């Protein structure tokens, strides 16, 4: 059987999956032949997980933007590539056809060239969700510069850390942005960051909300003036720079279990092939579909399934600047009706939040254009799944529960919409080419449904999720520190990529992700490392020590619970808590603010000084009856005190 690009039946899925595992090189070689290469590759895969070395499509040269733009501008130039919906309901929307997007990307690539940018230079992008953000990203890719997008909610300190880690030469930002009824002072925050960043030579500023900002002579310039100059010169095209398959395409920072965020590096060819393949198969994309991914481009979901996946498929990608609850909780549904959205891809946290507003708001919404629904970012609870299925999908739209990570580049485990079975709260089956494996703490592989290892009834097995064979869009390195990549992902279990997630598997081979097993929280689908957050809190003058744990939160999935030892007797708790929140907002961003703060006089520690988070987690969950053995603690009495003072 020759391999179909889009899988059309369950039998076909099983057949394709089998072939992809038996002969991965043939499989991915065939898939990759569907793209535009400047020079064909000579070797599909070269790898070992020990270093790790992961090289796909070696010898090949390409530019991802030719695959996302040129080939569609040639064949369907008037198809909308991007549709943009403003935060403000009154503001006109914007539609950019493939030809228009190509031209604007080329013009901005010329701007970058005029600023002295060359292949391999790093560029930090800190922008609101406007079409220019996608244009900036694609222009970087066009010229071969490596983009590092920083989410607009991160603080000056977080930006500075990211810029310095990658020695970015240029920054692209905006005066400010809108989110609901708030205005976000992006340029001011960026200016505060740049005080610490010597590598940055130029800053390009998009005028979005006209808030007062300072423009530094010689360093800062306006986006529209730069582009105007290029247009004046009559430039409408910029030849895409030839990239080696393994040349880095972008860096995206993500939190881990140690203090400092890691710069996850993705490659040019593998990332393109895999995001395209998964976009087309998971969502069962059909030509003409309007795809609405509600993520922010500051996260991996936006990179892969607003920009690169959909555009490389010639799809129409809808980009929304605002938030789901403004001006009211019907905003997503209004957008679906306004643009006749066919595929809606969002996060469980958004579903739960919208659920809490009830179904009255849905009464005058049509939603009949919807064909496929998706979720990503965290486990979806059954209640939210059913609400989504019934009220939004009207029981006719399959829901794809897509499991993946910043490091995986694209979706690894998910049902294929309407093709493979959906099971509420299960991500279900691996994508072709993906070989998941469950392992015990000690590395022992958990086979099939071996009941002797099962910790749960009905032969469901549980373990840590790892992947045993490379796939094209996997992480290549952590920027500037390859050893960190090795120790974080490839040293826990020999010859396996370790995901950091816990997972169940049923007898049919369906996977259900249960959440992180490392010290990383998943708050509203955003990863927050507890060590990073503790460092931020501990830097506040009043704080002696702190410990962060997660607890179940109705909307956010996980909430942040902070136990804090604070200087001095009789502190004003309210003030102290506010100061701590302000410190976290300044050092990381408002997304990392604790939901609960409890001041304590001591933390439960082992005799070797290790904080017993297990106990703190139980207390935060309200499960104080089952704290387990606390006799090994240095001072068991602190536990009693903490339990008594829970607020």
Binding site for ligand WTA (CB under 6 A): 254, 299-301, 376-379, 401-406, 427, 499-501, 513, 515-516, 522, 527
Query: Nearer Cβ to ligand WTA, position 103 or 254?
Result: 254
Which of 168, 165, 184, 164 shows the shortest CA–CA distance to 176? Answer: 184
CB of 403 to ligand WTA, least distance (A): 4
Q: What is the DSSP letter of 66?
A: I
Query: Nearer Cβ to ligand WTA, position 128 or 374?
Result: 374
Query: Nearer Cβ to ligand WTA, position 391 or 558?
Result: 558
As a whole number of angstroms, the distance between CA 488 and CA 327 comes to 42
CB of 249 to ligand WTA, least distance (A): 17
Give the sheet arrangement for strand 80-85, strand by strand: 94-97, 80-85, 316-320, 290-293, 343-346, 372-376, 399-402
CB of 464 to ligand WTA, least distance (A): 11
Q: Which residues contact 99 (CB under 8 A, 6 or more apart)?
A: 73, 77, 78
Give the sheet arrangement for strand 445-446, strand by strand: 445-446, 436-439, 461-467, 497-505, 511-516
C-alpha distances out from residue 141 to 101, 147, 208, 229, 594, Å: 14, 8, 23, 21, 37
Q: Helix or strand or coil: residue 217?
A: coil
Query: Nearer Cβ to ligand WTA, position 54 or 384?
Result: 384
Q: Is the peptide bond before 52 cis (omega within 30 degrees of 0)?
A: yes
**Dihedral Cα 177, 183, 184, 186, nearest 10 deg:** 50
Placement of tokens 């998943």 in the chain:
522
Query: Nearer Cβ to ligand WTA, position 97 or 346?
Result: 346
As a whole number of angstroms, the distance between CA 252 and CA 158 comes to 13
CB of 264 to ligand WTA, least distance (A): 8
Q: Is the peptide bond before 497 cis (omega within 30 degrees of 0)?
A: no
CB of 302 to ligand WTA, least distance (A): 10
In angstroms, what is the C-alpha Rg of the chain? 24
Query: Nearer Cβ to ligand WTA, position 527 or 618?
Result: 527
CB of 515 to ligand WTA, least distance (A): 6
Query: Nearer Cβ to ligand WTA, position 107 or 408?
Result: 408
Q: Which residues contact 110 (CB under 8 A, 6 or more apart)?
A: 230, 235, 238
CB of 501 to ligand WTA, least distance (A): 5
Q: Which residue is nearest to ligand WTA (CB)?
A: 406
CB of 253 to ligand WTA, least distance (A): 10
Query: Nearer Cβ to ligand WTA, position 499 or 546?
Result: 499
């Amino acid at each position: 059987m020759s391999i179909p690009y889009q899988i059309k039946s369950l039998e076909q899925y099983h057949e394709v999956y089998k072939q992809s595992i038996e002969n991965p090189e043939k499989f991915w070689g065939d898939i990759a032949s569907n793209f535009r290469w400047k020079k064909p590759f000579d070797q599909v895969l070269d790898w070992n997980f020990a270093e790790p070395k992961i090289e796909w499509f070696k010898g090949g040269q390409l530019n991802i933007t030719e695959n996302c733009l040129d080939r569609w501008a040639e064949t369907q130039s008037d198809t909308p590539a991007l549709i943009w919906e403003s935060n403000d309901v009154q503001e006109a929307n914007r539609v950019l056809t493939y030809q228009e997007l190509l031209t604007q990307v080329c013009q901005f690539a010329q701007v970058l060239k005029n600023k002295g940018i060359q292949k391999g230079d790093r560029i930090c992008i800190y922008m609101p969700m406007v079409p220019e953000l996608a244009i900036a990203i694609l222009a970087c890719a066009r010229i071969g510069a490596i983009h590092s997008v920083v989410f607009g909610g991160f603080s000056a300190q977080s930006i500075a850390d990211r810029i310095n880690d990658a020695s970015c030469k240029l920054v692209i930002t905006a005066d400010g942005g809108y989110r609901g009824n708030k205005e976000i002072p992006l340029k001011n925050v960026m200016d505060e960051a740049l005080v610490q960043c010597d590598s940055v030579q130029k800053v390009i500023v998009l005028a979005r909300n006209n808030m007062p900002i300072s423009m530094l002579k010689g360093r800062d310039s306006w986006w529209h003036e730069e582009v105007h100059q290029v247009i004046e010169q009559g430039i409408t095209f910029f030849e895409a720079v030839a990239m080696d398959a393994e040349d880095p395409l972008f860096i995206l920072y993500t939190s881990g279990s140690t203090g400092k965020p890691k710069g996850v590096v993705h490659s040019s060819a593998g990332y393109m092939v895999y995001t395209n393949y998964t976009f087309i198969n998971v969502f069962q994309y059909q030509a003409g579909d309007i795809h609405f991914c509600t993520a922010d481009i500051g996260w991996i979901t936006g990179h892969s399934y607003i920009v690169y996946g959909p555009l490389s498929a010639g799809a129409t990608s809808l980009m929304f600047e605002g938030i789901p609850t403004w001006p009211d909780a019907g905003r997503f549904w209004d957008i679906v009706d306004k643009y006749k959205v066919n595929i809606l891809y969002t996060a469980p946290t958004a579903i739960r939040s919208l659920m809490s507003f009830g179904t009255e708001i849905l009464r005058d919404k049509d939603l009949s254009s919807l064909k496929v629904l998706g979720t990503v970012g965290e486990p979806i609870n059954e209640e939210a799944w059913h609400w989504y299925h019934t009220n939004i999908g009207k029981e006719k739209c399959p829901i794809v529960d897509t499991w993946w990570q910043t490091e995986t580049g694209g979706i690894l485990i998910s049902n294929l919409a309407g093709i493979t079975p959906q099971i509420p709260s299960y991500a279900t089956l691996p994508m072709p080419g993906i070989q998941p494996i469950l392992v015990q703490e000690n590395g022992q592989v958990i086979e099939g449904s071996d009941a002797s290892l099962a910790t749960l009834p009905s032969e469901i097995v549980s373990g840590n999720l790892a992947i045993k064979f490379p796939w094209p869009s996997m992480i290549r390195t952590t920027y500037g520190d390859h050893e960190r990549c090795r120790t974080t992902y490839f040293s826990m279990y020999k010859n396996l990529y370790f995901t950091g997630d816990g997972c169940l598997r049923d007898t049919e081979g369906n996977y259900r992700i249960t959440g992180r097993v490392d010290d990383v929280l998943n708050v509203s689908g955003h990863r927050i490392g507890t060590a990073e957050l503790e460092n931020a809190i501990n830097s506040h003058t009043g704080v002696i020590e702190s410990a962060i744990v997660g607890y179940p939160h109705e909307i956010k999935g996980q909430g942040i619970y902070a136990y804090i030892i604070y200087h001095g007797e009789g502190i004003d708790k309210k003030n102290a808590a506010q100061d701590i929140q302000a410190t976290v907002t300044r050092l990381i961003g408002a997304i990392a603010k604790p939901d609960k703060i409890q001041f304590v006089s001591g933390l439960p520690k082992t005799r070797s000084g290790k904080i017993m988070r297990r106990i703190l987690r139980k207390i935060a969950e309200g499960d104080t009856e089952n704290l387990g053995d606390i006799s090994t603690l240095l001072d068991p009495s602190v536990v009693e005190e903490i339990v008594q003072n829970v607020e």
